[in-house]
C-alpha cells in the first residue's frame, strides 16, 4: 500500500532474487508462487497470475544459478546484484506481457512492449533502490538461516 502510487515498484522481485541466492531454486519457486497467489487474492487472479509465477520463478532460478556472481569472498557484491535486479525488472515485465497474446494478435506485441518501457524502467529502478536499501541487512539475516549447524528450534532442553 505504501508503494501503490508508484506503478511497478514493489519489493517482490528483489526478495525473489535474495531467496534464490540464499535458499536455492526450490525455495525461490515456492516463494514466487506463494507471493503471487496470496497477493492476487487481494488484487484478483487472472491468466496473468500464471505468467507472474513463471516470471518471478525464472528470476529466482537465475539468481540461484548465478549465486557465485553475487556472493564473492563471503560478501554480497552489491554492484552485480543491482545490475541483475535492474535486468530482472525488464525480464519479469516482458514475461508477464506474454499473457496479452491470449487476447490480441501477436502483431501488437511489440507495440505493447514499447508502451510498457516507462513501467519497466520504474520496476528496474525500484529493484535497484531495494538492493541499495535492503540487500546488506537482508543478506545478514538470510545468512544466519543458511548457516545453521543445529536445525533444532531450541538447542537445549530446559531442566526441571
The Cα angle at residue 17 between residues 14 and 21, in degrees rounded to 5: 140
pLDDT for position 139: 94
pTM score of the predicted model? 0.89
Q: ∠136-91-14 over CA atoms, to 5°?
A: 20
CA distance 99 to 40: 16
Please list, residue by residue across 84-96, b when 16 or more beta carbons sit within 10 angstroms of its beta carbon and e when fewer do: bbbebbbbbbebb
Report the pLDDT averaged over residues 148-152: 57
List pLDDT tens digits, range 37-86.
999 888 888 889 999 999 999 999 999 999 999 999 989 999 999 999 99
Phi and psi, residue 75, nearest 5°: -125, 150
The C-alpha atoms of residue 98 and residue 132 are separated, in whole angstroms, by: 30
Please give the grid coordinates belonging to residue 152.
Answer: 533444532
**pLDDT on residue 149:** 60
pLDDT of 10 > 90? The answer is no
- 149's grid cell: 549447524
At residue 26 the predicted structure's pLDDT band, cuts being 50, 70 and 90, is very high
Amino acid at each position: 500500500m505504501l508503494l501503490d502510487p508508484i506503478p511497478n515498484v514493489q519489493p517482490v522481485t528483489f526478495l525473489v532474487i535474495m531467496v534464490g541466492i540464499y535458499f536455492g531454486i526450490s525455495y525461490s519457486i515456492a516463494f514466487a508462487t506463494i507471493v503471487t497467489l496470496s497477493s492476487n487474492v487481494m488484487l484478483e487472479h487472472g491468466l496473468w497470475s500464471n505468467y507472474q509465477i513463471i516470471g518471478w520463478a525464472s528470476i529466482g532460478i537465475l539468481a540461484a544459478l548465478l549465486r557465485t556472481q553475487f556472493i564473492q569472498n563471503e560478501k554480497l557484491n552489491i554492484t552485480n546484484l543491482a545490475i541483475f535486479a535492474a535486468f530482472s525488472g525488464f525480464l519479469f515485465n516482458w514475461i508477464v506481457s506474454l499473457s496479452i497474446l491470449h487476447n490480441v494478435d501477436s502483431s501488437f506485441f511489440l507495440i505493447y512492449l514499447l508502451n510498457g518501457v516507462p513501467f519497466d524502467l520504474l520496476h528496474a529502478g525500484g529493484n535497484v533502490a531495494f538492493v541499495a536499501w535492503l540487500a546488506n541487512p537482508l543478506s545478514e539475516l538470510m545468512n544466519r538461516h543458511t548457516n545453521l549447524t543445529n536445525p533444532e528450534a531450541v538447542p537445549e532442553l530446559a531442566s526441571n
